[in-house]
Structure 1
Amino acid sequence: MLRRWLPWRFLVKRAARAHGIVDPLAILARLRRFTQPSEVQEPIELLRAGIVFHARGLINTKAIQHNLDWVWPYWVERQFNPDDPSFIPRAFSFTHVNLTHRNWTAAGHPDLPLYPLVDPRGLVTPLHDGWSIDLWLLSSKGGLLLPSKLEEVSQKLVFSPNLAVKTDSSANGMKISTNVTLETSDEAPYAKINASCHCAEGGWLVVSIRPYNPEGVQFIEKIFCDEDSRRLIVNGKTPVEFDRIPEKTIFSDYDSGDVVNQLGYSDSKGVTCNVGMVTAAALFPFQKGEKGSLEIRVPLKEDLPEKTFVRTTAAYRTSPESWK
């Protein structure tokens, strides 16, 4: 009833004219003249998806463009680099979105509607449209291996004993290997990352929590260490679990910049950020001549419909057989 009585068209036109903006109703009318008569006009699903897509693009514009000294996902490192074939000029772009490297891979399970993602450089996004986990290598001499900045890595699907995405990144005598799978337990399914690294002079395997995914920025407002220091709690609810205690953990908010520039700082226990751009790093040492290794788990229960896991837990526990 309210929709009928209020002069919506007049109000929209008046507001647009007052701000010097083209009349959106006139634009829509022009667009419809290109189409054939139909019972429906613009599908609301496409409009909704487009709004979400470009809303994130607006956030990317503010977050990425002014902070190119951060470590960003692979698509940003390529698409924002004028020397790269994937470069897209941005001067007149209203939003900045991933248009060039939309080829991430899901590590899934036939019986579960869960899809932890792995991007072309091994960045892992455990939860749907969530934040990500990146793995770096810091040598004892100060060298830093950042997979998202490498020209080439090796990545492949492994099908035995379970589906896994395996990524090998190497440069300057340093190497990181990750194996990402979706596993199950009696409590909940979880994304598992088995990581290994090697560097002749020794160093640290760095696990970094990143406020983005292959689509762009995804806010992290706070991260804290759990009491036993073997877990990082992201946004107060999602744990990132390690199989051992890190030597130190470092946290940074937006004003302090990316944690990649603070790896030499002293140990801290957490941080909050009202911008939503918290970054964190947990450092795990390995000795000269040794191979470092680490297992990381992220429970995925919050992404799963409540009754799904309870109803068919027994089926999930035979994971390899489900692929046959």
Structure 2
Amino acid sequence: MCLVFALYRLPYSLRCFLASLDCGFFLILLVFFSTSVSNVLQSAPIISCQITICFVNMISLLLLLIFITRITEYECKSEASCNVAFKNEERDVQLMQDINRLLIDNILPPTVAHKFLSHDRNTDELYARDHDNVCVMFASIPNFKEYWSECDHTRKLECLRLLNEIVCEFDKLLSKPKFSCIEKIKTVASTYMAAAGLTDSDNADNSPERNAAVIVEFAQAMASVLDQLNIDSFQNFELRIGINVGPVVAGVLGQKPQYDIWGNSVNIASRMDSSGVIGYIQVNEETKQILSKKKSDYQWIYRGEINIKGKGPMITYLLKLSRKNRINFYKLI
């Protein structure tokens, strides 16, 4: 009977049933055996008393084993339930940590994200780094503002969906290995801001020539992507791009992480965009010389000296976003 309750793999009700059968079978044998003995020894009263005692003991043992087994099974089920709940909570916590890490990685560069995810970081601590040879790019879609103003109130959401699709396609380009050194900074309305050369890796080529050339190639890729979106959405959006190479300060201000860059190089790149020409990349003379060192077959257009807001007169050059090159480049990517 005790062995029956030791079979934990059997259901509890089945074990109780088998133990009851075992106990009943034993009592039946005991009664028949005692009857035979009493007929021989003529001692029925004594044997009857002993049978009663054995019967009571067997029933008591059966009930005790049933009770102990029930308590044991309840504790095992409770422990198993707690283990399952603990594993589920642990999985949910890990999932939330992975989601948080993914969000941080999308907002911040990997090295900065690692800093913000560390447990020993002070929430009020300023994170800022100096970077040399950074190429900053501002890419605007000037005629999107006109498209927005032409849409009535009921179509504003549709306009935003289209702009979101454009920005998402630009973001997808950054996942390509050739553009891994480029970091998206932010978007302001229909202006896309990015920079190359913000990596802290000592093994990466962080020369100004390389950073500027990658940004120009990225600008061509953006233009080709925009061409395809124009075909799909029956629009005629065009890019106007300004770039500049120089030192910047990159960092995060405040407790809510938002990566940004500051410096004169950023201001000049912004002015190159705002004073630029649709369908062209505008650069100053210094950036033009840097790009020419990397690649000599750029077809520069001398724009001459123009007045840059806040900077005064400045000689600038234009690099056309060639439609032929853009279509070929789009096929390659």
Greater helix share, structure number: 2
Structure with higher Rg: it is 2
TM-score computed with the length of structure 1 as normaliser = 0.26
Greater strand proportion: 1
